[in-house]
Amino acid sequence: MGNPLRVLHVVVNMNRGGAETLIMNLYRNIDRSKVQFDFLTCKAGVFDSEIAEMGGKVYRLPYVTDVGHTTYVKKLNQFFKENSHYRIVHSHMDKMSGLVLRAAEKANIPVRIAHSHNTQSEGGLASKVYKWYAGSNIKRSATHLYACSNAAAQWLFKNQSSVTFILKNGIECDKFKFSSGVREQIRKELQLDKESLVIGHVGRFNHQKNHLFLLEVFAQLIKVVPNAKLILVGGGTLHSNIEEKITELQVEEKVKLLGVREDIHLLLQAFDVFVFPSLHEGLPVTLIEAQGAGLPCIISDAITKEVDMGIDLVQSLPLTDKNVWVETLVNVMNRDSPRKISEKALNQKGYNIRKTAELIQKSYIEIGGEVS
């Protein structure tokens, strides 16, 4: 058999974000004798060593915010000129994919995929204007459009969203199955009483995830449920703001910041409810994982309904009324949920990673093969 088809994934870094977790899940589950992943990144990431172990290469270019537009574009052009042997470039940079794919097009790389993982750009006005300019290249330079949800496709690709390939954010179902033994063990490690109502959140510490709102809701909740605890998993630029807010609300004894963790599948077992008040999302993989673990999920109504797997675990609430969030959390506490979720539900909705990996592998071979 010949060499595998090498696909170049373009990301900022391979850390534990939603898109990056999905790419790694796909990578672990594809047949690497047929398709191999390489990565073009801007910064070192936690997955770099695992990528190397699986036979992938990691290239690095400085990001636009470090070197400015002109140097960034120049370096992209140079990189693709030197690596024009790739047949498929798969860019996960939302609007910034426009610049990546334009450089790939100049180097005559035949398959250029733009993948939307979000429904809004981050940053201030200048940043959004620049991203709009970068994104304007997608229509001309992308040969294929992928998205994690219809909402994410609509945001980035507008009137082309109907021709977008929707690739579900699949998970390794068996890893997330509820286990009362694991629940006991993790709660013991985190020094949580059996009686505590444990509210969990997993997400980067950035504006989009809306942690300050979550902390305000929690501060109101403990007036009604004094034994509630809040676990925040993640790290990021707003870490110190979140610590300040915890001190201001005087909830230091009730909130645990666990940092970036590798054992999300185990931590989910210890939670009683998963809260996700994001301002915008593509289709968060953590919400699929939480449902896979049988957790009730209380989420903002800004998140696409596509994330609800129809197994009676998701409630969407407006971000305009904190009282509704508190009431809903109290109701969840009084609800007796069995936590047993059938893998069948995940399969039916297309969120089993084995199925997703098969789909993407087939897609790569079809579109990569067209240009041999």
| Per-residue H/E/C for the chain | CCCCEEEEEECCCCCCCHHHHHHHHHHHHCCCCCEEEEEEECCCCCCHHHHHHCCCCEEECCCHHHHCHHHHHHHHHHHHHHCCCCCEEEECCHHHHHHHHHHHHHCCCCEEEEEECCCCCCCCHHHHHHHHHHHCCHHHHCCEEEECCHHHHHHHHHHHHHHCEECCCCECHHHHCCCHHHHHHHHHHCCCCCCCEEEEEECCCCHHHCHHHHHHHHHHHHHHCCCEEEEEECCCCCHHHHHHHHHHCCCCCCEEEEECCCCHHHHHHHCCEEEECCCCCCCCHHHHHHHHCCCCEEEECCCCHHHCCCCCCEEEECCCCHHHHHHHHHHHHCCCCCCCCCHHHHHHHCCEHHHHHHHHHHHHHHHHHCCC
* Strands ordered across the beta sheet of 165-166: 58-60, 35-41, 5-10, 88-91, 111-116, 144-147, 165-166
Average predicted confidence (pLDDT) for the chain? 91
Least confident of 114-128, 148-162, 284-298, 309-323: 114-128
pTM of the predicted protein model: 0.83
pLDDT digits (tens, 9 = 90+) for 255-305: 999 998 889 999 999 999 999 999 988 888 899 999 999 999 999 999 988
User: Would the pLDDT of 346 be above 60?
Assistant: yes
Mean pLDDT of 157-182: 88
Q: Are 19 and 114 in contact (CB under 8 A)?
A: no
- pLDDT confidence bin for 372, thresholds 50/70/90: very low
* Per-residue model confidence (pLDDT) at position 338: 65
Dmax of the chain from CA atoms? 65
* Per-residue model confidence (pLDDT) at position 286: 92
User: Would the pLDDT of 86 be above 80?
Assistant: yes
Residue predicted with more confidence, 173 or 226: 226
- pLDDT confidence bin for 320, thresholds 50/70/90: very high
Least confident of 1-5, 146-150, 284-288: 1-5
Quote the tokens at residue 350.
């297309």
Structural domains of the chain ordered from first start: 5-170+352-369 (3.40.50.2000), 173-349 (3.40.50.2000)
Q: Are 212 and 241 in contact (CB under 8 A)?
A: yes
Mean pLDDT of 304-308: 88
Least confident of 181-195, 202-216, 274-288, 335-349: 335-349
Quote the tokens at residue 366.
């079809």
- pLDDT confidence bin for 254, thresholds 50/70/90: very high
* Per-residue model confidence (pLDDT) at position 325: 97
User: Would the pLDDT of 57 be above 90?
Assistant: yes
The Cβ of residue 236 has, within 10 Å, a number of other Cβ atoms equal to: 17
Mean pLDDT of 28-36: 95
Mean pLDDT of 194-198: 90
* Per-residue model confidence (pLDDT) at position 13: 87
CA 292 – CA 341 distance, rounded (Å): 6
User: Would the pLDDT of 116 be above 80?
Assistant: yes
Contacts of 46 (CB under 8 A, 6+ apart): 14, 15, 16, 260
- pLDDT confidence bin for 42, thresholds 50/70/90: very high
* Per-residue model confidence (pLDDT) at position 348: 79
User: Would the pLDDT of 141 be above 50?
Assistant: yes
Most confidently modeled of 110-114, 133-137, 160-164, 337-341? 110-114
- Give bridge partners of residue 40 from the DSSP assignment: 10, 59
The Cβ of residue 160 has, within 10 Å, a number of other Cβ atoms equal to: 15
User: Would the pLDDT of 371 be above 70?
Assistant: no
- Give bridge partners of residue 111 from the DSSP assignment: 88
Mean pLDDT of 61-84: 94
* Per-residue model confidence (pLDDT) at position 341: 67
